[in-house]
Amino acid sequence: MNLYGAGNDIVKFNGLNYDEWSEQIRFQLGFMDFDLTLMDEKSAAIIETSSEDDKSLYHAWDKSNRLSLSLMKITLAKKVKPSMPKTEDAKEFIEKIKEYSQSYITDKYILSGLMNKLTTKKFDWSQPIHDHVTGIENLAAKLKSMGMDVSESFLV
């Protein structure tokens, strides 16, 4: 199975869509039988006295970890990749992404996107004025719910 082909079927993680992205990642890894790394703790390193079962489990976990991590990394949006943690553990990586999606950075990103929409929204006669005004009010309400007060004089 082509790992890059599998990555194309998964929604790109953009900082805001962790739940959807995580569900798709877990499903795809389960389908490919590479979800061992997300289910089990890291296997102990192989030593001379390790049994064949321990060696087999370690190799399976290691392969699952490498491929899981690769799949997760190729499904990150370009703007998210630079801020992602450097780790060699897929389970730790997915937890860090969850933390990132709930962080102040993400809130700041959402706020800036909403403000950008609000300040660049123009009426173009392709829709009724009522819809345009309602859209602006909805953006202002979203900003207010996130703790940013938008004055009525600014909206006018």
Q: Are residues 20 and 51 both part of a single domain?
A: yes
Q: Are residues 18 and 84 both part of a single domain?
A: yes
Q: Are residues 123 and 91 both part of a single domain?
A: no
Q: For residue 25, give the amino acid letter.
A: I
| Separation between Cα atoms, residue 108 and residue 124, nearest integer Å | 29
Q: Are residues 54 and 68 both part of a single domain?
A: yes
Could you list the residue range(s) of the whole structural domain that residue 46 is in? Answer: 3-102
Mean local confidence (pLDDT), 6-10: 74
Name residues whose C-beta falls within 8 Å of residue 18's C-beta, 6 or more positions apart in sequence.
97, 98, 101, 102
Residue 76 pairs in a beta bridge with 13
Q: Are residues 96 and 150 both part of a single domain?
A: no
Q: What is the pLDDT of residues 83-117, one digit of tens each?
A: 777 888 999 999 988 888 777 665 676 777 778 88
Query: What one-character DSSP code corresponds to residue 67?
Result: H
Indicate the pLDDT class of residue 3, thresholds 50, 70 and 90: low
Contact 132, 46 (CB under 8 A): no
Residue 13 pairs in a beta bridge with 76
Domains held by the chain: number: 2
Indicate the pLDDT class of residue 139, thresholds 50, 70 and 90: confident
- pLDDT number for residue 9: 79
Indicate the pLDDT class of residue 24, thresholds 50, 70 and 90: very high
Q: Are residues 9 and 43 both part of a single domain?
A: yes
Q: Are residues 30 and 58 both part of a single domain?
A: yes
Indicate the pLDDT class of residue 23, thresholds 50, 70 and 90: very high
Q: For residue 2, give the amino acid letter.
A: N
Q: Are residues 38 and 72 both part of a single domain?
A: yes
Indicate the pLDDT class of residue 4, thresholds 50, 70 and 90: low
Answer whether residue 135 shows pLDDT above 60. Answer: yes
Q: Are residues 84 and 34 both part of a single domain?
A: yes
Q: Are residues 96 and 124 both part of a single domain?
A: no
Task: List the end-to-end C-alpha distance of the chain, in Å, as a whole number.
Answer: 55
